[in-house]
Amino acid sequence: MHSKKAEESAISLESVHQGEPFLQAGSVWRGRRILSVEDQEDNRQIVRDLLTATDYEVVEARNGKEAIIAASEEPPDLILMDIQLPIMSGYDATRCIKANPALRGIPIIAVTSYALSGEDVQARAAGCDDVVAKPYSPRHLLAKIRTFLP
């Protein structure tokens, strides 16, 4: 009797795991990739943690030049663009991406520094589709993302 019960529960547990979408190797990717451009590891981690709980896939770049390369090689569905970046700023990276006909349709959300006034205006002038100011609440950032990728 005991062994029968154990067998039954083992089988049902296995079927639960088989039906678990996150464990299926061949599950269909929904095509919602977000490129997170940010030079500070702590901030990249915040975005990573936030988006890991969603069905968005995250790829990362640490400066404007890396952002352009990443966007060209595997165009994302949305870009979160920090503005203050080494090597190439978020303004220049945005201008470059928006100047490329193959990439200009990708929405870019600028993540601007709270302290620097005027950064949001400049970000929009550079071609950013929207702006989120630091420090942002994760909920607010996710809501912004969802306006472009519902």
Q: Tell me whether residue 61 is exposed, middle or buried, using C-beta atoms within 10 angstroms of its C-beta: 0 to 12, 13 to 18, 19 or more.
A: buried
Size of the site for Mn ion (CB under 5 A): 3
Rounded to the nearest 5°, which phi and psi values hold at 71? -65, -35
Rounded to the nearest 5°, which phi and psi values hold at 122? -65, -35
84 binds Mn ion (CB under 5 A): yes
- Which CB, 82 or 129, lies closer to Mn ion? 82
| Binding range to Mn ion, per CB under 5 A, among 77-85, 104-112, 128-136, 141-149 | 77-85
User: Cα-atom radius of gyration of the chain, to the nearest Å?
Assistant: 20
| Binding range to Mn ion, per CB under 5 A, among 5-13, 57-65, 80-88, 124-132 | 80-88
Q: Tell me whether residue 37 is exposed, middle or buried, using C-beta atoms within 10 angstroms of its C-beta: 0 to 12, 13 to 18, 19 or more.
A: buried
54 binds Mn ion (CB under 5 A): no
Applying the rule CB under 5 A, the residues between 14 and 43 that interact with Mn ion are: 39
| Binding range to Mn ion, per CB under 5 A, among 49-57, 62-70, 81-89, 103-111 | 81-89
Burial 85-110 (b: 16+ CB within 10 A, else e): beeebbbbbbebbbeeeebeebbbbb
82 binds Mn ion (CB under 5 A): yes
| Binding range to Mn ion, per CB under 5 A, among 44-52, 57-65, 66-74, 82-90 | 82-90
Rounded to a whole number of angstroms, the minimum distance from the CB of residue 40 to Mn ion is: 6
The DSSP letter of residue 131 is E
Name the residue number minimizing CB distance to Mn ion: 84
Site of interaction with Mn ion (CB under 5 A): 39, 82, 84
